Amino acid sequence: MASSMKSLFSDHSRYVESFRRFLNNSTEHQCMQQFMDEKLPGIIARIGDTKSEIKILSIGGGAELVAKTSNLENIKFTWHKETSSEYQNRMMEKKELQKWDFIHMIQMLYYVKDIPGTLKFFHSLLATGAKILITLVSGTSGWDKLWKKYGSHLPRDDLCQCVTSSDLMQMLDKLGIKYECYDLLSTMDISDCFIDGNENGDLLWDFLTETWNFSTTAPPDLKAEIMKDLQEPEFSVKKEGKVLFNNSLSFIVAEA
C-alpha cells in the first residue's frame, strides 16, 4: 500500500460528500422503497395480528422506514432511537432488558465491532412473535468481490467492516437463529469513474474504495487493475453506454 493512501473516514466532510454522490448515482433508496412497498407491510402485519401496539427499536438510523410503510394506519408506534452500542451499554448497566416487537438495523452492521455479539444481544430482546430486519449489501453484489479482492490493498480503520449478507447468514446459522433473506437488485452508475479528472467520478472512487482522494493517491497499477475489474460482469453491467455497479441489497428478517 502506498504511504500516501489513507482512509476516507479521516476526512468527514469528504466522506459525507462521497456518500451523497453515491446516493445520487445509485438506486439504493428506490430499492429500499420497493422492499417497503412489497414485503414490509406483510411482515409488520403478521407481528401486529394480535397486538394493538407495536414496540419498535430503530438501531443506527432509518427511523422513518416503518412509519412510512403503507397500510399501518391502525397501529400505534413507540419509537426508541440510539446507536447499538449506546443502547446495549445502557441496558447492561440498568440490567433491564425491555422486549421489542420489531427491531430494524438499516445499513449499520458495518460499523459494529462485534457483529455476532450484537446479533445475539438484540435477538434476546425480541418478544414472542417478534422480528429483526437487517439491511446490508448482498453477498452477490459487486461490493463482495471488491472487498475480497482488494480489501488488503486499501487503507482500513476500525470504523467500518466489509460485511455482506453472506457473512451475516453464516453468523445467524452459527447462532441458531432462523431467518428469511430477500435480495433486491440495486445499481450505482460509476461511468464518471472512467473519466480522468471528473469530480463526480473521483468522489465515487473514494466511496468505492473508502480511500481519501483515491484517484490521485493510489498507485497507478492498483487503480488500473480495479478500473479494469469494475467493468467485468461480476462487478457491473454495461447498459446504454453506462457502467452500472452491482449494489444489490439483502433484507434479512430474523425470527424470535
Lay out the sheet containing 179-184: strands in order across.
76-82, 53-59, 100-106, 126-137, 249-255, 179-184
Closest CA to 186 of 249, 255, 256: 249
The answer to whether the beta carbons of residues 98 and 125 sit under 8 Å apart is: yes
* C-alpha cell recorded at residue 223: 487503480
The answer to whether the beta carbons of residues 135 and 103 sit under 8 Å apart is: no
**Residues 95, 86, 212, CA angle at the centre, nearest 5°?**
155
- The verdict on whether residue 247 carries a ligand-binding annotation is yes
For residues 23 and 102, give the distance between their C-alpha atoms in angstroms, rounded to a whole number. 27
> DSSP code of 146?
H
For residues 62 and 146, give the distance between their C-alpha atoms in angstroms, rounded to a whole number. 26
Pair type for strands 53-59 and 100-106:
parallel
Rounding to the nearest 10 degrees, give the CA dihedral for residues 89, 92, 95, 101.
80
For residues 235 and 46, give the distance between their C-alpha atoms in angstroms, rounded to a whole number. 37
Task: Enumerate the known binding-site residues for substrate.
Answer: 28, 247
Task: Enumerate the known binding-site residues.
Answer: 28, 247
